[in-house]
Amino acid sequence: MRIAVDAMGGDNAPDEIVSGALEAIELLDKDDEVVLVGPQSQLLSSFKKLRSRAGISIADAPDVIAMDEKPIEALRAKPKSSISVMAKMAKLGQVDAVISAGNTGACVAAFQMRMRNLEGVNRPGIAVVFPTFDGPVTICDVGANIACKPINLYQYAVMASVHSKNILGIESPRVGLMSIGKEDAKGNEAVKKARELLRNDPNLNFIGNIEGRDIFKGVCDVAICEGFVGNVILKLTEGLVGGLFKAIKHELMTEKLRLAMKFKPIMQRIYKKYDYNEYGGAPLIGINGTALICHGSSKSRTIKNAVLAAKKYHTEKINDKIVEYLANTSFQTSSQNEKI
Amino acid sequence: MRIAVDAMGGDNAPDEIVSGALEAIELLDKDDEVVLVGPQSQLLSSFKKLRSRAGISIADAPDVIAMDEKPIEALRAKPKSSISVMAKMAKLGQVDAVISAGNTGACVAAFQMRMRNLEGVNRPGIAVVFPTFDGPVTICDVGANIACKPINLYQYAVMASVHSKNILGIESPRVGLMSIGKEDAKGNEAVKKARELLRNDPNLNFIGNIEGRDIFKGVCDVAICEGFVGNVILKLTEGLVGGLFKAIKHELMTEKLRLAMKFKPIMQRIYKKYDYNEYGGAPLIGINGTALICHGSSKSRTIKNAVLAAKKYHTEKINDKIVEYLANTSFQTSSQNEKI
């Protein structure tokens, strides 16, 4: 398969991106190819290796969309940006997957516009895997859709369950719906209506409402929420883990330097064990294709893992399984249900 | 002043509540009084001390609203519940403050119904103080209002700023508006409109949008969000801290038991330092009175601290300061602005 990687996406582009792509091709099959999308002349002059390396090629995209640009305006103004170019390549079937650590809003907009949604899917969502003490928890959506309808939340549950089962190997993923209390009466209107849809689908392992604390308690494998809430969850987790490690380090350093030195490798091991970079980016799930969005601060390891994750997503035919699932439920027609 | 404490509220009632109340009166002034609200005969027979102790009395409330009851239905069915009785006492001026670790929804509904809102305030919000490495951050709302209008978010900023300045001693609290990106274009409609209101008020130290990670980065003293998001933030933080400590403990225990023993007191110190129980419950800010809502798992220390916090809230005339602030801005009339 051919996997496009945005060479200019993220805070550490292009160096870490190119390194990640080079690492990835060592682990792919011989007939696989990584296509770096970015300014060809710049990439070739900066990375001599790229000229001769088998399994890697460059698709020219002279423009770059910055991390803080307004997505829609930037896509309109820069049709030759790496994000625009890779989306078009996917649309034309020139690549089988797209990966970017660039402007998330621009990625979501471009991929959705060019690649379109899967049959039966109303809105795609970004699914992030949190490594927790009790195993991986898939959270969807974390920012693709901040005006969520009940049908969107229902479909996130379906799609994230298919992902959890086929990518993470969890046989019957327990699905929790993020709310502000476990009782049925808790939550806003979208949550309450989504709960009815979820409850009425016997093929889902729906466990009901969950609360913020439940993500790290091993009660669910999939957590469903609208994009605003999911985005806050994602970034809060990142900030809190960082803040807590900082507090521990400070406490150790001020009083017991020797103890701090002993503790350092253990902290590093924990950090690595629960590092979501291991999962290599988050699929934009529900799109008609394979699209992974990586953290803006991605280093080569994340990009390498994202390439491998894209391959698995494609090989496991996640999209076919989603389409098949939705075709066999009573909520299959996207146009009919846009109002739910 | 007279402070009513719900003797039957929370998972550890009445034992921990009564203990907390007894601890608190030792630290109050002579003319202060704690009024325990609950089933009089049961309390008197279980806690002999209560008969003779000066500074503490009992107001009879034979019914109890359970933690998982539907708030409105429960309040209707149980007019003699501790929450209902204390709300009525506050309304009649028989007590100056109310404190409960019971059913949050029932507390919010009862207090709002009986005590009414402060002049100029459209909706009260629950303000929780997070102790972070860089100092306390006040988050409002964490669950009183899950259908937030822009004017509500604006007023949360005003009220939490007054609280942060007068209770926590932060001279010009930096206010951040929770969104999914720092750029102006990010966020849902309520957030975008609230940003305009916040920006147009020169008396607020508004720093713009913040993201989930910023709460623990020392960039703001006040974080504003709608109740659903705030509730997820509150509970996620609780769950994540617990989960991370569990992971660290596990990692230490499996490999280096001696190191684990050395590390234990440090962890306990960190836990205590960043323990939000220190702040003793969260004020329902914007209500015409003093009302504190405590975590359902509150122990005596939290209740003791809540009593002291209620005293400070009352003494510092937080409500007068909020009313004065709102009267001097252009958004003062609640009825006019309900549509914003």
ipTM greater than 0.90, yes or no?
yes
Beta strand pairing call for A205-210 and A56-60:
unpaired
| Arithmetic mean of pLDDT over chain A | 92
Interface test with A, best of B108, B236, B293 (most A CBs within 10 A): B236
Which has the minimum average pLDDT: A32-41, A270-279, A301-310? Answer: A270-279
- Separation in Å, CA of B119 to nearest CA in chain A: 27
Whose CA is closest to B112, among B85, B127, B91, B82? B91
| pLDDT (mean) for A79-99 | 98
- Separation in Å, CA of B245 to nearest CA in chain A: 10
Tell if the CB–CB gap between A183 and B68 is shorter than 8 Å: yes
Residue A335 has pLDDT above 50, yes or no: no
- Which pLDDT value is given to residue B270? 81
- Separation in Å, CA of A336 to nearest CA in chain B: 25
Residue A168 has pLDDT above 80, yes or no: yes
| pLDDT (mean) for A97-114 | 97
Percent of chain A with pLDDT over 70: 96
Q: What tens digit of pLDDT does each residue of A179-220 get?
A: 998 888 788 999 999 999 999 999 999 999 999 999 999 999
- Which pLDDT value is given to residue A330? 66
- Separation in Å, CA of B175 to nearest CA in chain A: 17
- Separation in Å, CA of B258 to nearest CA in chain A: 11
More confident residue, A18 or B133: A18
- CB-nearest to B214 from A132, A227, A239 is A239
Chain A hits for B252, Cβ within 8 Å? 266
Parts of chain B with a pLDDT under 70: 255-256, 330-340
B1-120+286-316 with B122-283: one CATH topology? yes
Predicted TM-score (pTM) above 0.90: yes
DSSP per-residue codes, A146-203: SS--HHHHHHHHHHHHHHHHHHH--SSPEEEEE-SSSSTT-S-HHHHHHHHHHHT-TT
- Which pLDDT value is given to residue A332? 46
Residue B105, chain A, CB below 8 Å: the answer is: yes
Residue B272, chain A, CB below 8 Å: the answer is: no
Residue A308 has pLDDT above 70, yes or no: yes
Tell me the residue length of chain A: 340
- CB-nearest to B185 from A70, A181, A229 is A70
DSSP per-residue codes, B36-102: EEE-HHHHHHH-THHHH-TTEEEEE--B---TTS-HHHHHHH-TTBHHHHHHHHHHTTS-SEEEE-S
Surface of A (281-340) touching B: CB under 8 A? none
A314: buried, middle or exposed (CB in 10 Å: 19+, 13-18, 0-12)?
A: middle
- Separation in Å, CA of A242 to nearest CA in chain B: 8
- Which pLDDT value is given to residue B332? 46
Tell if the CB–CB gap between B185 and A227 is shorter than 8 Å: no
- Which pLDDT value is given to residue B331? 57
Q: Span A1-121+286-318+336-340: which CATH code?
A: 3.40.718.10
**Architecture in CATH of B122-283:** 3-Layer(aba) Sandwich (3.40)
- Which pLDDT value is given to residue A265? 82
Amino acid B306 reads A
Tell if the CB–CB gap between A266 and B255 is shorter than 8 Å: yes
Domain borders along chain B are 1-120+286-316, 122-283
Q: Span A127-278: which CATH code?
A: 3.40.718.10
Chain B hits for A250, Cβ within 8 Å? 133
Is the peptide bond preceding residue A141 cis, with omega within 30 degrees of 0? Answer: yes
Residue A309 has pLDDT above 90, yes or no: yes
DSSP per-residue codes, A203-262: TSEEEEEE-GGGGGTTS-SEEE--HHHHHHHHHHHHHHHHHHHHHHHHHHHHH-HHHHHH
Asked if residue B241 lies in contact with residue A244, where contact means CB atoms within 8 angstroms, the answer is yes
- CB-nearest to B133 from A133, A187, A247 is A247
CATH class for the region spanning B1-120+286-316: alpha beta
- CB-nearest to B235 from A213, A237, A270 is A213
Asked if residue A190 lies in contact with residue A150, where contact means CB atoms within 8 angstroms, the answer is yes
Residue B261, chain A, CB below 8 Å: the answer is: no
Taking the CB of residue A172, how many other CB atoms lie within 10 A of it? Answer: 12
Residue A83, SS3? helix
Beta strand pairing call for B125-132 and B282-285:
antiparallel
Tell if the CB–CB gap between A181 and B250 is shorter than 8 Å: no
Beta strand pairing call for A222-224 and B2-6:
unpaired
